[in-house]
């Protein structure tokens, strides 16, 4: 059986957590692996009426006999990891998966969060320090999980970096003309005190490594070993294709690679026999700045936000909502070579009399169904829509494709025919069992 990658085809928040949770239930998957991003993610899993939101932990953590992995491509905030583990144990005890942390994963440090809060405004970042942590990694001055395990080396690295970041943060505060009240709130002198950082990071790292279900080491070797034993691995992408630093709507992107390429770089492992599943919400949402051609800045957009509970799982920010963009899905399909799609939140469209699907873009006289990922082109282009009938029947209890009203079937089939990939799953509500499994051939 193939390994499986679950990744987002839009601007994140597609409902990947639920799809990962559904697949992780299959006994063949021994490991669930995050390969990029950090606690900017918010993956929600609903089990038996209980809602679990994972930011940094992989969504397979609820399965006690699995190993969840944070690959080298993930950026780790130890405070968040320690409290997420403690919160999980407060609810399920030790009945959760093992956690394996790549010793090559980079740490999010307080200066990353400060720099993000000062400079991330134009992009509308989550202020979790993600961009600056990846930036230091590329600049070859990052601090890795392995460094945090060596107390002396860690203290030396923190002292060096804290001093450098004091100056950098001062310069950023001046450059961005941050008012004095806000400077007082950010309190860089306190936040960047090396002694304080060393002590608090030591505590969090000890809390994490002291957990008998947590291990650190070479995640690439672990995955290779599992593959060698014939075990299957589930890779969990965070964010989405259009937020990819290389392939997204740059500069309105995150700083990692949610697309398929991220799996290889973010784990150091070549999965053989890989199936790539792209998760698409039945409409489109976006948080933060940047172009969004199918955005509905009207009553219907507000309706989608309320009906779909479209508020950020990480920051609580209201999400911008709009029609489904088929050229965008086709683009995601090309960039990551998707084998199939999983459609989520189809139930949210119930009751909307006419539905629109973006099928092309027009710039001047030129018409194309290729998604023009450049932000300036997207901002200028006119979207061409196809209109379909909506449905009013409650679909939240459907268990097969045939249970769906004809109009909902037509909506789904139009997506498949445009993108040229089968739909393998259709989610029709937040609960684990509210899912139509169509099989790999649709
Ligand atoms: P950052 O990842 O915090 O640097 O934020 C960069 C952009 O990506 C911002 O527009 C964020 O709103 C967006 N973003 C980051 N993570 C997620 C996510 O998990 N879902 C949706 N948007 C995200």
**Ligand 1 lined by 239 (C-beta under 6 Å):** yes
Distance 353 CA to ligand 1 centre (A): 32
Our answer on whether the CB atom of 41 is closer than 6 Å to any ligand 1 atom is yes
CA 125–ligand 1 middle distance (angstroms)? 6
Architecture (CATH level 2) of domain 106-209: Orthogonal Bundle (1.10)
Residues 6+ away with beta carbon under 8 Å from 440: 275, 339, 340, 422, 424
Identical fold between 3-104+218-437 and 106-209: no
Q: Which residues are catalytic?
A: 13, 43
* Residue 286 in contact with ligand 1 by CB distance below 6 A: no
- Report whether CATH 3.30.465.10 matches the domain 3-104+218-437: no
- The SS3 call for residue 362 is strand
Average pLDDT of span 156-167: 97
pLDDT at 441 over 50: no
* Cα 346 to Cα 151: distance, rounded to the nearest angstrom: 50
Among 56, 108, 35, CA closest to 314: 56
pLDDT for 439: 60
Model confidence over 199-244: pLDDT tens digits? 999 999 999 999 999 999 999 999 999 999 999 999 999 999 999 9
> 13, 73, 125: which to mutate for ligand 1, most atoms within 8 A of CB?
125
Mean pLDDT value across the chain: 95
Share of the chain above pLDDT 70, in %: 99
Residue nearest atom 19 in ligand 1 by C-alpha distance: 41
The 10 Å Cβ neighbour count of residue 281 is 27
Q: Which residues in 389-405 are b (16+ Cβ under 10 Å) and which e? A: ebbeeebeebeebeebb
C-alpha of residue 126 to centroid of ligand 1, in Å: 6
Q: Which of 5-9, 181-185, 217-221 has the lowest mean pLDDT?
A: 181-185
pLDDT score at 314: 83
Mutate to test the pocket of ligand 1, among 39, 40, 135 (most ligand atoms within 8 A of CB): 40
Region 109-122 average pLDDT:
94
Q: With a 6 A CB cut-off, is 310 part of the ligand 1 pocket?
A: no
Instruction: Read off the pTM.
Output: 0.96
CA–CA separation, 70 and 103 (whole Å): 9
| Annotated domain spans of the chain | 3-104+218-437, 106-209
How confident is the model over 119-150, as pLDDT tens digits? 988 899 999 999 999 999 999 999 999 999 99
262 CB within 6 A, ligand 1: no
**Which of helix, strand or coil describes residue 272?**
coil
Mean pLDDT across the stretch 397-418?
97
């Amino acid at each position: 059986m193939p390994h499986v990658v679950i990744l987002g085809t839009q601007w994140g928040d597609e409902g990947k957590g639920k799809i990962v949770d559904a697949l992780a239930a299959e006994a063949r998957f021994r490991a669930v692996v995050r390969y990029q991003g950090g606690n900017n993610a918010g993956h929600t899993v609903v089990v038996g009426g209980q809602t679990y939101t994972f930011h940094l932990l992989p969504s397979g953590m609820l399965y006690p006999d699995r190993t969840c992995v944070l690959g080298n491509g993930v950026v780790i905030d130890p405070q968040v990891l320690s409290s997420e583990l403690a919160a999980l144990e407060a609810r399920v005890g030790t009945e959760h998966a093992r956690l394996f942390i790549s010793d090559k994963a980079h740490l999010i440090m307080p200066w990353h969060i400060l720099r993000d809060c000062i400079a991330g405004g134009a992009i509308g970042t989550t202020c979790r320090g993600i961009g600056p942590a990846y930036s230091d990694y590329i600049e070859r001055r990052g601090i890795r999980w392995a460094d945090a395990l060596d107390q002396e080396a860690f203290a030396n690295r923190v002292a060096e970096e804290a001093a450098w970041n004091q100056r950098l943060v001062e310069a950023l505060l001046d450059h961005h003309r941050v008012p004095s009240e806000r400077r007082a709130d950010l309190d860089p002198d306190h936040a960047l005190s090396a002694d304080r950082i060393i002590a608090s990071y030591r505590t969090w790292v000890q809390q994490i490594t002291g957990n008998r279900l947590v291990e650190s080491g070479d995640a690439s070797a672990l995955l290779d070993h599992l593959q060698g034993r014939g075990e299957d691995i589930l890779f969990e992408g965070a964010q989405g294709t259009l937020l990819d630093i290389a392939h997204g709507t740059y500069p309105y992107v995150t700083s990692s690679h949610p697309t398929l390429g991220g799996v290889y770089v973010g784990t150091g492992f070549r999965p053989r026999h890989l199936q790539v599943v792209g998760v698409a919400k039945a409409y489109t949402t976006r948080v933060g700045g940047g172009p969004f051609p199918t955005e509905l800045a009207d009553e219907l957009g507000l309706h989608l936000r309320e009906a779909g509970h479209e508020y950020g799982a990480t920051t609580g920010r209201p999400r911008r909502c709009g029609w489904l963009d088929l050229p965008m899905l086709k683009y995601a399909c090309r960039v990551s070579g998707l084998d199939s799609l999983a459609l989520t939140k189809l139930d949210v469209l119930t009751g909307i009399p006419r539905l629109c699907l973006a099928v092309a873009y027009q710039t001047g006289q030129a018409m194309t169904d290729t998604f023009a990922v450049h932000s300036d082109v997207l901002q200028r282009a006119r979207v061409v829509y196809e209109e379909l009938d909506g449905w009013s029947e409650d679909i939240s209890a459907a268990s097969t494709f045939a249970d769906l009203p004809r109009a909902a079937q037509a909506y789904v089939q139009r997506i498949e025919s445009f993108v040229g990939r089968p739909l393998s799953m259709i989610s029709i509500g937040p609960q684990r069992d509210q899912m139509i499994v169509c099989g790999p051939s649709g």
